[in-house]
Amino acid sequence: MKRTAIAALLAFGALALVADEKTSTQAPPPAAPADSPLVAAAKASGRTTTSTSKKKKKMVITNETLAKSGGHITTTTKTAQQPLPAPPRVDPVLDKLAADQKKQYEAEKAAAAKAQKEAEEKRKRNAERANAIVEGDDAEGIYEDPATSEGRADKQSPPPPGQPQTIQVQKPPTSSF
C-alpha cells in the first residue's frame, strides 16, 4: 500500500513538472510590471531631477533605480561585534532546592501510584470475596442449603431489566392573548 502511494505521488510530481515546463516554454516572457500609481505620480511631478537651486536631489525608488543600483548589503566586521556576555551563574542553593523539590515530587508520585495499586488490589480482593459468598464458596457456605444460597444471591443481585417506564410528556399551558 505504501509503495503504491509513493509511486502515485512520484508520478503526480513528474506530471506537474512536465506540465510546468510546457507552459513556461510556450508563454512569452512577461513584460516589465507597470509602476504603481504613486510611483507614476512621483515621476510626473518631476521631483527626481535637480533644479538650479541648491536643494538636495531626492531619490524616488522605482524599478529602474533598483535595476541600476543593483542593491547593496552592508554587514558588520568582526572587530565591530561585541562578544556575548558570560551566562549568569546559578546559585548552588537554588540548584539544591530544585533537586530537593524534584525528589519530593517523584516520591509523592511514587506514593500515589503505590496507593492506587493497593486500592485496586483491595477492590479486586473484595469483589472476588463477594462473588465467592454469592456462589456459596465461602467458609460459612460449605454447610449451607443450596436454596438458602440462591435466596441470598437473588436478594443481592439487581432486578432483571423489565419494560421501561413510560414517560409522561407534559404539555405547556395554552395561553390566550
Per residue in 146-175, pLDDT (tens digit) is: 787 788 777 877 777 776 777 777 888 887
- The pLDDT-based confidence of 38 (bands split at 50, 70, 90) is confident
User: What letter does residue 18 receive in the DSSP assignment?
Assistant: H
pLDDT value for 171: 81
Report the mean per-residue pLDDT for the chain.
77
Q: Where are the domains of the chain?
A: 94-156
Q: Has residue 52 got a pLDDT over 60? A: no
pLDDT of residue 97: 92
End-to-end CA distance of the chain: 69
The more confident residue out of 115 and 14 is 115
Tell me the pLDDT band of 110, cut-offs 50, 70 and 90: very high
Q: What are the backbone angles phi and psi of residue 109, rounded to the nearest 5°?
A: -65, -45
Residue 157, φ and ψ in degrees, nearest 5:
-80, 155
DSSP secondary structure letter of residue 52? S
pLDDT at residue 30 in the model: 60
- Site of grid cell 509523592: 108
Angle, CA of 7, 12 and 13, to the nearest 5°? 100
Q: In this predicted structure, what is the pLDDT of residue 117?
A: 96
- pTM score, whole prediction: 0.30
What is the maximum alpha-carbon separation in the chain? 128
